[in-house]
Chain A
Amino acid sequence: MISVHGLTKVFPGGVRALDSLDLEIGEGEFFALLGPSGCGKTTLLRTIAGLETPTSGSVVIGGTDVTALPPGRRDVAMVFQDYALFPHMDVTDNISYPLRIRKVPRDRRRARAAEVAGRLSLTELLGRRPGQLSGGQQQRVALARAIACHPRAFLFDEPLSNLDARLRLEARTFLKRLQDELGVTTVFVTHDQGEALALAHRIAVMDAGRVAQVGTPTEVFHRPATTFVASFIGSTPMNLLPGRMGDGALHVAGAVLPAPGDPPGGGDGGDGGDGGEIVYGVRPEYTDLSTTRRDDGFAGEVAVLENLGTATLVTLEGPGHLVQAVVPEGREPALGTTAWAVPRPGRALLYRDDVLVGRA
């Protein structure tokens, strides 16, 4: 549906925001562009919209090469972070503005605005101005404006970031259901990994103008392709510890762990080469805490306890490393005591030269 090929964008001054990037987004897909600020995700979205001109490469929407087309002729609708509602127009006029530009007759415009507004529970607000609406209502008006003109694709720039935390969760559910019902290809930008995991069918994790990994939420969560993705995805950062492979076992931060099993993709054996430097990654959620000595655990002094509600994030300070583990409520160790963080078998990931090579 939307595909970009070899897309490069260099801004005046030499900043390379996109670096020969390729991406395929399927028909009807809810697709997230995820990454830290400055990774190029917004530039990519704006280039798809036509608001930025790529330095090289092409953008194809629905089989048509739109690289040279102005934004107004690409048949996409964008919802901006600040919603960009026109303050001098009421809700009806805001929603029907794109139709007005397309010279749709006034009565048909109003009928379409009322229809879309009804669907988004905005009927009561049709005569109001944006200044008289709450943040959540403004967001729905902006969505209604995007929906009203039947575009081929929606582009959302940080759609939830201007809402407060509580409303954000509601809006998230609402947005997912809406996209499901409409079935229109949707690309959205976010820096919030939780939002991307919750909403998207597929996620492209971006880093420094390139795509680090594309996959379903399950794939990027369970098999992050690089240590960058591993550290970026997940509500608590993944433990990444340097280690060494040898004697049929893994030696990581003082612990001896079983050697890796199947590599991702399952092809070329466990890459059991000895003596290799590796990075051992395991999520705090997949790490148990033991108060008795364990050879397969990372020892450390309990340095920080962070309450997560139904669980507690424990930070252990060992010699030269920090390890985090999530323990269920009521099982927190005392500060200052020594504990062992034990990875659950099969949940750890091994990286060599920053690339996923196996699981252990």
Chain B
Amino acid sequence: MNTDAAGLGRSRAVVFALPALVLIGVFLVFPALWTIYLGLTDYRLTGLAAADPQVVGTANYTAALGDERFRSSFWLTAQYVLGSAVIGQAGLGFTLAWTLRGRRGTVRRVVEGLVLLSWILPGSVVAFLWIALLDRDGGTLNALLGTPGAAWLLDHPMLSIIVFNTWRGTAFSMMLYSAALENVPVSHLETARLAGASTLQRLRDVVLPQIRGHVLTNVLLTSLWTFNDFTPFLITAGGPEGRSEILPFYVYNTALRGGQLGFGAAVSFLILLINLVFALAYLRLLRNRREVAV
């Protein structure tokens, strides 16, 4: 096979690719490497260590792993990802797509419109809408439920941001699953119905095996996006008392507010490693699937 379809030749191909490679190098690779370096120093935003940072080895990492606040933040993040990405966005998105499948007309358009609206509004706008919704005094939710004075953001900060992120991101999952479900032939579902399969059995035996690749992609993407999501910071800022301080907030609070840039860089690198684990697990599952399919 001719691998040089464009007929450029190696040298000219390199010239064409170079600007993009330089940009990627300057804005992605260098900062990443710089972060790894910073993570090994006691670099601070101000003071003596800002002028003359010292290499401290793995001290930042041992400090982070030994920090109660880091560990609690890690568990909050796990809850946040599981609750709002896996169960919330992927689960609700699939449920909506399955329910609306084959439906036409007003109901579908209204639901899709509402779900998409939450996705296309700017994050900052949405965050302040939610503050207005959940506010203790005169919040919309309290007015609706008739529970004046309920301090949702103080009493249930994690639940608030999980619901918020679910609401915000479901549209993507719903659209992805809608497209995936279109590819499951109706005759397969009808064959299962004729065999007497219940809805759950049809989902288990016919639908899920055929959209497994879509499910994996969807769960990976929503998990990664949610893991690195910073928008809810505008609602709770990690509070009260760190009860909604997921890892991105933790990095921000320690590195920028607390000034410990070296420590923050180390935690960032840990987050990167966790993301890497997600991605590798996903690739592994996808490869298994391909092998099975052959």
Interface residues of A (CB under 8 A from B): 49-51, 70-74, 76-78, 80-82, 84, 86-88, 97-98, 101-102, 131, 145, 149
Contact = CB atoms under 8 A, between A and B. Distances in A.
Contacts of A87: 210
A133 to B, nearest CB: 14
A102 B196 contact: yes
How many chain B residues sit at the interface, stated as a range, is 10 to 19
B191 A101 contact: no
Given A84-B185, A87-B210, A97-B205, A78 B196 contact: no
B294 to A, nearest CB: 9
Interface of chain B: mostly helix, strand, loop or mixed: helix
Looking at B185, B187, B194, B195, the one whose CB has the most chain A CB atoms below 10 A away is B194
5 contacts: A49-B194, A51-B194, A71-B193, A78-B191, A84-B190
B210 to A, nearest CB: 7
Nearest to A102: B196
A37 to B, nearest CB: 18
Contacts of B209: 86, 88
A84 B188 contact: yes
B206 interface: yes
Given A82-B187, A86-B209, A97-B205, A77 B194 contact: yes
B229 to A, nearest CB: 34
Nearest to A81: B187
A7 to B, nearest CB: 19
B196 A73 contact: yes
B54 interface: no
B99 interface: no
A72 B185 contact: no
A72 B196 contact: yes
Contact of A98 (B187, B196, B210): B196
Contacts of B194: 49-51, 71-72, 74, 76-78, 98
Contacts of A70: 193
Nearest to B212: A88
A127 B97 CA distance: 34
